[in-house]
Amino acid sequence: MNKMIEISNLSKSFPSPDGEEMVHVFSGVDLVVEEGSSVAIVGPSGSGKSTLLNIVGLLDKPTDGKLIVAHKNLNKLKETEVSEYRNQTVGFVFQAHHLLPSCTVLENVMLPGLAGFGEKVTEELKERANQILEEVGLGHRTSHLPGQISGGERQRVAVARSLINQPSVLLADEPTGALDSKNSEHLVNLLKELNEEKSLTLVMVTHSAESANQMKQAYHLDEGSLRQER
Ligand SMILES: Nc1ncnc2c1ncn2[C@@H]1O[C@H](COP(=O)(O)OP(=O)(O)O)[C@@H](O)[C@H]1O
Ligand SMILES: [Mg+2]
């Protein structure tokens, strides 16, 4: 099996607000995720789950440690490679959908296909966006604005948007945190389907034991260390 994510001895500290000392979030974190696997990361609030995911997505930098994702050594990427990595290699889904309110569902999904690469709206991009929306069960909502669909649907649009550039890894940070139990179940089932059918490697932070149980592996982050639960 191919390793999709390989993290060794990762640590992260932030300077305290007065800058006097360092706040240590975690250290000695090792994590290997095989291509096509799905991993849940659980742990109390403030334990560093978002920080860990942000580091894997290169939205933040580690204090120390080695990261290899999709055969790229993240410690050694150049500036242009960093933006390409964020845009193409990983997809992100957050607790809040972050959709643009004045763009249609279809436009929101197409957007990362345009970002920063001087690309135009092509028929191919439009077709891909329509197809992904079909796959997440929203083929009938493409012309709606985010305000005209339900919370569960908005979060499925956010998933569709994260997939437009066909990432190798999907990073989901409490993606069901703002949903009721029925919509949460629907969303986790969708993520599971994408993981199984597209062989998309999935890392999901969640507070829900039920959602975590749907993933092939589970890790617990607490008191500065990550340990595997199953
Ligand atoms: N930009 C930042 N500057 C300083 N401290 C931060 C920053 N981001 C996160 N932290 C701290 O790191 C710790 C972990 O935060 P976070 O990763 O958001 O936890 P979780 O997602 O598990 O709730 C918290 O103590 C938080 O205050
Ligand atoms: Mg968090």
Domain boundaries, the chain: 3-228
3-62 pLDDT, tens digit each: 999 999 999 999 999 989 999 999 999 999 999 999 999 999 999 999 999 999 999 999
DSSP 85: I
Asked if residue 141 has its Cβ within 6 Å of ligand 1, the reply is no
Q: What strand order describes the sheet that includes 38-42?
A: 90-93, 169-173, 201-205, 38-42, 217-222, 225-228
Task: Report how far ligand 1's centroid is from the alpha carbon of 48 (Å).
Answer: 6
Asked if residue 51 has its Cβ within 6 Å of ligand 1, the reply is yes
93-132 pLDDT, tens digit each: 999 999 999 999 999 999 999 875 566 788 999 999 999 9
- The third-level CATH classification (topology) of the domain covering 3-228 is Rossmann fold (3.40.50)
